[in-house]
Amino acid sequence: MEWDIGRIAAKRALLTPNKPALIYEDRPVTYKEINDNANRVANLLKEMGVKKGDRISVMLLNCPEFIEIYFAAAKLGLIFVPLNFRMVGPEVEYQLNNCSASVFMFHDKFTEMTGSIRSRIKVEKDKFIFVKRSAQEEALSCPEWAADYHEVIEKYPVDEPQPDKPVDMDDPLAIIYTSGTMGAPKGALVSHLQTYFKNIQIMMYMDMRSDDIILAQLPLFHSGGIFVTATPVLWRGATMILRQDFDPVKYAEDIERYRATVVFSLTTMWRFVLQTGRLNEVDTSNVRITFGGGERTPLGLLDELAQKGLFLQQGFGQTENSAMMMLPKEDVERKKGSIGLPGFCTEVWIADDEWNKLPPGQVGRIVCKGPTRMSGYWNMPEETAKVLVNEVLDTGDLGYTDEEGYFYIVDRAKDMYRSGGENVYPAETEKVLADHPKIANAAIIGVPDKKWGETGKAFIVLKEGETITLEEIHEYLEGKVAKYKYPTSLEFLKEFPMTTSGKVKKVELKKREREIFGEPE
């Protein structure tokens, strides 16, 4: 069937042209503005010779331009590749080359980093586009090797673009990178069809209304930002409050300032908001839906939000299948700690190693299938085959259900931990540390942290006669991995517990940590 996610912008510009789609840094941006600029961008890309199936990548802070480029790519059948703006040069270089990006658009903040890797990436010399954050801010000027986004798109018409080939629902829409368990990031490939069903599911979760005011300050490069909030909000014709960066004080104040009806935030973000104390001073009575989570959420945090009239509906999802379940509003107190029930368009169950459904109370793998899951990993058939078996996706998490079918997470089957809302796979950092001249071997596990949910703890086996400090490790990691991947604590061992195949037994390290410090609260 010929249809694409870009039609959301076109339909909204027809139905509600003058309604604010976004309120960006307190400035309304209408649906017509979004669609007009998306069309200008699409017509620019057509003239640049970009064809259906080509990858167009962005490294942008939250902004209207992100949404415009996303819809432009969808209208032409291009594959949109948003990058994590917290990454450093080598990480960006890998992902741009892995997806063979044809075009790279970046905020002024990332000009120096982009310039440093420009000669080593596959993007053609005339396909770098510079985006200045706003006319009011002091920012770097557009470099001579890039085109200025705002200057160049003004030259193009607002007419609906025609793709060089028809766009089908099964065509890929986006590649969202998630860190790889073996150290190499994997690009989850998401289609227009999967996003279509995901929109339906999320709108049903929230009983979303066209007059809703949605406050969600997740980074748009995350699946939670672009697929769980922005796309369904704009499809429904509601209004989303958007800021360039997450500020916990402004977040609390925006609930009252804009009389938000739906608020969405990760657990770590809620921690920061509560720590400011501003929720005690603002009116939250207009909030109808509060949802979020994204990691282990302490019951005390749920109670603290409830005292403010915000009853958090926890959910569960991942880049490979975001927002696959959510706790119904009426069960927030009765099923406290549960991640809820599977969504209308997703089948989820607890399985043994052969995907057989396990009975209530028995811990097993959380697996799922249905039209909302990813198609696979970009150019990684072997990695895809590990997690997708007979159309069933292994989430990598362990959990159980109760007698009423409500789901609970127990632990992660993989080594990944979640710090401040970011997925961290230790193998990436371990791979870098393995080259340190003083280190014989390194292993990192996630440990509980009151501020970030979890942080990394490094276990180090040093080469004979060497010493090293945590500060030295941080200095060595600088510029090689993003800072949220740095270990925050350190312990030295003479040797690691090893498997027969020569791998570190991380389960033994985790067990040792629990025995020393006890179970997390």
Q: Confidence band (pLDDT; 50, 70, 90) for 505?
A: confident
User: CB 446: neighbour CB atoms within 10 A?
Assistant: 24
Q: Is the pLDDT of residue 261 over 60?
A: yes
Q: What is the pLDDT of residues 38-59, one digit of tens each?
A: 999 999 999 999 999 999 999 9
pLDDT given at position 22:
98
- The architecture that CATH gives domain 197-412 is 3-Layer(aba) Sandwich (3.40)
137 vs 34, more confident = 34
Q: Confidence band (pLDDT; 50, 70, 90) for 357?
A: very high
Please report which residue ranges of 246-370 form alpha helices under DSSP H.
248-257, 267-276, 299-307
Q: What is the pLDDT of residues 404-449, one digit of tens each?
A: 999 998 766 677 788 888 878 787 888 889 889 999 889 999 998 9
Per CATH, the number for 417-517 is: 3.30.300.30
Same fold flag, 197-412 and 417-517: no
Q: What are phi and psi of 498, to 5 degrees?
A: -120, 150
Q: What is the pTM of this model?
A: 0.87
Distance from C-alpha of 88 to C-alpha of 101, rounded to nearest angstrom: 17
Within 402-468, strands assigned E span 407-412, 417-419, 422-424, 439-449, 453-462
Q: What is the pLDDT of residues 262-286, one digit of tens each?
A: 999 988 889 889 999 999 999 999 9
pLDDT given at position 361:
94
pLDDT given at position 499:
59
Percent of the chain past pLDDT 70, that is, above it, reads: 94
CA distances from 70 to 236, 326, 360 (A): 17, 26, 42
The sign of the CA dihedral 359, 361, 364, 366 is: positive
Domain boundaries, the chain: 7-168, 197-412, 417-517
CA atoms within 13 A on the CB side of 510: 18
3-state secondary structure 49-107: CCCCCCEEEEECCCCHHHHHHHHHHHHHCCEEEECCCCCCHHHHHHHHHHHCCCEEEEE
Question: Which strand (E) or helix (H) includes residue 430?
Answer: helix 426-433
Listed range (36-45, 136-145, 344-353) with the worst mean pLDDT: 136-145
Q: What is the pLDDT of residues 383-397, one digit of tens each?
A: 999 999 999 999 988
What radius of gyration do the chain's Cα atoms show? 23
Q: What is the pLDDT of residues 83-111, one digit of tens each?
A: 999 899 999 999 999 999 999 999 999 99
User: CB 403: neighbour CB atoms within 10 A?
Assistant: 8
259 vs 267, more confident = 259
Q: In the numeric block, which tokens belong to residue 158?
A: 């607002």
Listed range (84-98, 353-367, 494-508) with the worst mean pLDDT: 494-508
pLDDT given at position 307:
93
Q: Is the pLDDT of residue 318 over 80?
A: yes
pLDDT given at position 521:
41
Q: In the numeric block, which tokens belong to residue 480?
A: 């090689």
pLDDT given at position 519:
52
Q: What is the pLDDT of residues 166-212, one digit of tens each?
A: 999 999 999 999 864 445 789 999 999 999 999 999 999 989 999 99
Within 151-267, strands assigned E span 172-178, 186-191, 213-216, 239-242, 262-266
Q: Confidence band (pLDDT; 50, 70, 90) for 294?
A: low
- The architecture that CATH gives domain 7-168 is 3-Layer(aba) Sandwich (3.40)
Q: Is the pLDDT of residue 136 over 60?
A: no
Q: In what order do the strands lie in the sheet with 439-449?
A: 439-449, 453-462, 487-492
In the DSSP assignment, the letter for residue 225 is H
